[in-house]
Amino acid sequence: MHILIIGAAGMVGRKLTSALISAGQVGGKSIDKLTLADVVAPDAPEGFAGSVDTVAADLSSPGTAEQLIAGRPDLIFHLAAIVSGEAEADFEKGYRINFDGTRYLLEAIRQAGAGEAYVPRLIFTSSIAVFGAPFPEAIGDEFFNTPLTSYGTQKAICELLLNDYSRKGFVDGIGIRLPTITVRPGKPNLAASGFFSNILREPLSGKEAVLPVSKDVRHWFASPRAAIGFLLHAAEMDSSKLGWRRTISAPGLSATVGEEIEALRRVAGDEIVALIKEVPDPTIIGIVDGWPRNFDTQRAAALGFRAESSMDEIIRIHIEDELDGKIGG
Amino acid sequence: MHILIIGAAGMVGRKLTSALISAGQVGGKSIDKLTLADVVAPDAPEGFAGSVDTVAADLSSPGTAEQLIAGRPDLIFHLAAIVSGEAEADFEKGYRINFDGTRYLLEAIRQAGAGEAYVPRLIFTSSIAVFGAPFPEAIGDEFFNTPLTSYGTQKAICELLLNDYSRKGFVDGIGIRLPTITVRPGKPNLAASGFFSNILREPLSGKEAVLPVSKDVRHWFASPRAAIGFLLHAAEMDSSKLGWRRTISAPGLSATVGEEIEALRRVAGDEIVALIKEVPDPTIIGIVDGWPRNFDTQRAAALGFRAESSMDEIIRIHIEDELDGKIGG
């Protein structure tokens, strides 16, 4: 089978590429071609026996989506987006990339299918930012979407399009609202949620990290490993079980910043925790205040999605997968 | 004040124009200019002392929205849409008119406001079609949007945009999810919901009407008079009470088709009811099966929106407002 990953150069895209190559197959069908696209051409992955195309492509440019699906990929992962902080700061860029890009992709698939039978599976990474305060302590599977950021609005709109294009038979779409991926490897990015990872990742590498919010802040987490698991499960599952409600809130772990810090202390000790500096940032505090804290993801559980059950486990996964087992840099 | 009505030639648009002219003011500010736009130029209304522009304008043509707001209307009613049946049959037209048109309008307002202070109130007519089965017997104010038609999807997307543009301070938007307007005057249109009115209106004028669904079908109704009341209330209310949840489900009456018919019998007699012919239509049955039946509109009630409490009252309003009190044609 031929798999297209849009947003392949990002953290999730690279881990997903590696996981697909390791598995060699999806749902029993062997992977013989990978097309890896991003705004800068992704590096060609190692250890893959099939053919690989790496493509520099901006999905928000008209015509790009048509080029990306010209090879009729059977399975498409659409991970490309600009993050919440950037979409909030640059209104036009956010709508162009996070919304128009997705619409172009759906339209290209629909129009390709008008001339021949073509209904690929499309896995779309949505976000818990589709929810906005006030909400119940744990958000259920039928709670409404009232995003308080442009990013969340763009994701919610894409979810609606994914449903409608799937219902009309143009695509076999599945949306996954990812929890905040923690511990996110690499450097800090512009996401307002970055500190949730920074306060674990930086100290674990012996560096200082800034905590811009109160320790009481509660949030919803899953490891990168769990996130890749959601995407692979979505690629293989029986999508008819979703009906026309094509996006699900993925499972995760609800924890406070204080609980993150105490887990870090248990796993790595007081000296590591001492690297976290509290520097309140009113902008970040304001954004995070409108974010979800906890979910009741019965639907995802029934559909076979699994995540971590403790922050200690999330931290240990980071130490295993990113630090070769070594703490302190 | 200057009021722009987009979709002014439609049933709601014409009744709204009349109501505004009768009132002469909105929220204590006298109306000195009306701009009435639709795909065909609306008739100039009678009895208005101020200035009137009637404009033939297709909001889905790029550039049209900018022309419509060039006169900087203080209050905009955006009622223009193609109906559910047409949007389902013509996918591209539905998205172009029901979605792109609204987005162009919001963008034109945002860009006008970039050069000078301009934040008009924008009243948008949404629909209960943003909800899709399965749902609870009465849909509450926090139930999620899972439309089962492209029309419902387009309305739900516009609601999200209205929220985000309001939150960013570009517009003072209020969305109203209208119940199915009954008794809708005039000729049958392409709306799949048309029969709910046809089975009352046609017999009341001495004509036969087709009932394409079972009498058990339950639905959600308000009179044209109530709908105009919602729009006028939205124009005058304190929008800050909405927070960033800018669309509300309007109040209405939950009744079955059988209850419609029994009310018709009480108001107009057996001979009138005998004009209803049952001719099941599987397409209509399929569409209607995914529609809401009842709502719990506490939020709208708290915000001062009011509707009818009996089908008899809804039928009597039609006889008063459309038939000069005469039954049977």
B64-82 tens-digit pLDDT: 999 999 999 999 999 999 9
Determine the residue among B163, B168, B177, B296 to mutate to test chain A binding: the one whose Cβ has the most chain A Cβ atoms within 10 Å.
Answer: B163
Does residue A188 sit within a domain? Answer: no
Closest CA to B207 of B144, B296, B274, B266: B274
Q: Is B163 in contact with A147 (Cβ distance < 8 A)?
A: yes
| From A95, A104, A118, A151, active-site residue | A151
Does residue B28 sit within a domain? Answer: yes
C-alpha separations of A143 from A48, A248, B139, B299 in Å: 42, 12, 12, 16
Closest CA to B10 of B37, B46, B48: B37
Q: Is B167 in contact with A156 (Cβ distance < 8 A)?
A: no
Main-chain dihedrals φ then ψ at residue B212, nearest 5 degrees: -90, -5
Which residues of A fall below an 8 Å CB-CB distance to B?
A: 91, 110, 132, 142-148, 150, 153, 156-157, 160-161, 163-164, 167-168, 244-245
Q: Which chain B residues contact residue A110 at CB under 8 A?
A: 91
- Walk along chain A (329 residues) and give the pLDDT tens digit of each residue: 999 999 999 999 999 999 999 999 999 999 999 999 999 999 999 999 999 999 999 999 999 999 999 999 999 999 999 988 899 999 999 999 999 999 999 999 999 999 889 999 999 999 999 999 898 989 999 999 999 999 999 999 999 999 999 999 999 999 999 999 999 998 877 678 899 999 999 999 999 999 999 999 999 999 999 999 999 999 999 999 999 999 999 999 999 999 999 999 999 999 999 999 999 999 999 888 878 999 999 999 999 999 999 999 999 999 999 999 999 87
Q: Is A91 in contact with B244 (Cβ distance < 8 A)?
A: no
Residues 6 or more apart whose CB falls under 8 angstroms from that of B174 comprise B121, B122, B123, B124, B162, B234, B237, B239, B242, B246, B247, B248
Does residue A302 sit within a domain? Answer: no
Q: In what order do the strands lie in the sheet with B2-6?
A: B51-56, B33-38, B2-6, B75-78, B121-127, B172-178, B247-249
Does residue A191 sit within a domain? Answer: no
Q: Which chain B residues contact residue A143 at CB under 8 A?
A: 142, 144
Alpha-carbon distance of B101 to B107, in angstroms, equals 10
Task: Provide the 3-class DSSP secondary structure of residue A84.
Answer: helix
In sequence order, which ranges of B249-297 are alpha helices (DSSP H)? 257-268, 270-273, 282-289
Is residue A158 within 8 A of residue A102, CB to CB? The reply is yes
The segments of chain B whose pLDDT lies below 50 read: none
B280: buried, middle or exposed (CB in 10 Å: 19+, 13-18, 0-12)?
Answer: exposed
Q: Is A245 in contact with B142 (Cβ distance < 8 A)?
A: no
Size of interface A-B (CB pairs under 8 A): 54
Residue A153's closest chain B neighbor by CA? B160
Of B143, B157, B163, the CB nearest to A142: B143
CATH number at residue A59: 3.40.50.720
Of B132, B156, B164, the CB nearest to A150: B164
Q: Is A147 in contact with B168 (Cβ distance < 8 A)?
A: no
Does residue B16 sit within a domain? Answer: yes
Token pair for B18: 């009349």
Range of the domain at B80: 2-179+222-249
A41: buried, middle or exposed (CB in 10 Å: 19+, 13-18, 0-12)?
Answer: middle
Give residue-wise pLDDT tens across range B15-31. 999 999 999 999 999 99
DSSP A122-168: EEEEEEGGG--SS--SSB-TTB----SSHHHHHHHHHHHHHHHHHHT
Q: Is A148 in contact with B244 (Cβ distance < 8 A)?
A: yes
Residue A146's closest chain B neighbor by CA? B245
Parallel, antiparallel or unpaired: strands A2-6 and A75-78: parallel
Does residue A298 sit within a domain? Answer: no
Name the minimum distance, in Å, from the CA of A68 to any CA of chain B: 22
Q: Is A144 in contact with B144 (Cβ distance < 8 A)?
A: yes
Is residue A257 within 8 A of residue A211, CB to CB? The reply is yes
Q: Which chain B residues contact residue A160 at CB under 8 A?
A: 145, 147, 153, 156-157, 160
Token pair for B121: 């109130």
Q: Is B160 in contact with A145 (Cβ distance < 8 A)?
A: yes
Residues 6 or more apart whose CB falls under 8 angstroms from that of A286 comprise none
For residue A289, what pLDDT is reported?
84
Which residues of B fall below an 8 Å CB-CB distance to A?
A: 91, 110, 132, 142-148, 150, 153, 156-157, 160-161, 163-164, 167-168, 244-245
Q: Which chain A residues contact residue B144 at CB under 8 A?
A: 142-145
B101: buried, middle or exposed (CB in 10 Å: 19+, 13-18, 0-12)?
Answer: buried
Determine the residue among A164, A170, A171 to mutate to test chain B binding: the one whose Cβ has the most chain B Cβ atoms within 10 Å.
Answer: A164
**What are residue B180's DSSP bridge partners?**
B221
| Residue A151 known to be catalytic | yes
Of A145, A148, A167, the CB nearest to B148: A167
Name the minimum distance, in Å, from the CA of B204 to any CA of chain A: 38
Q: Which chain B residues contact residue A169 at CB under 8 A?
A: none
Q: Is B147 in contact with A160 (Cβ distance < 8 A)?
A: yes
Exposed e or buried b per residue across A112-151, where buried means at least 16 C-beta atoms within 10 angstroms of its C-beta: bbeeeebbbbbbbbbbbbbbbeebeeebeeebbbbbbbbb
Q: Which chain A residues contact residue B153 at CB under 8 A?
A: 160-161, 163-164
Which amino acid is located at A238 in the chain? Answer: D
Residue A245's closest chain B neighbor by CA? B146
Does residue A205 sit within a domain? Answer: no
Instruction: Tell me which DSSP letter residue B44 carries.
Output: P
Q: Is B153 in contact with A146 (Cβ distance < 8 A)?
A: no
Alpha-carbon distance of B129 to B290, in angstroms, equals 9
Of A91, A110, A144, the CB nearest to B145: A144
Alpha-carbon distance of A148 to B68, in angstroms, equals 29
For residue B273, what pLDDT is reported?
98
Q: Which chain B residues contact residue A139 at CB under 8 A?
A: none
Q: Is A153 in contact with B147 (Cβ distance < 8 A)?
A: no
For residue B115, what pLDDT is reported?
82
Q: How many domains does chain B have?
A: 1
Closest CA to A41 of A8, A68, A77: A8
Does residue A35 sit within a domain? Answer: yes
Alpha-carbon distance of A66 to A47, in angstroms, equals 29
| From B95, B104, B118, B151, active-site residue | B151
For residue A300, what pLDDT is reported?
98
Q: Which chain B residues contact residue A144 at CB under 8 A?
A: 142-145
Dihedral-angle region of residue A11 (phi above 0 means left; psi in -120 to 50 means alpha; beta otherwise):
alpha
Determine the residue among A135, A144, A149 to mutate to test chain B binding: the one whose Cβ has the most chain B Cβ atoms within 10 Å.
Answer: A144
For residue A306, what pLDDT is reported?
97
How large is the ipTM?
0.94
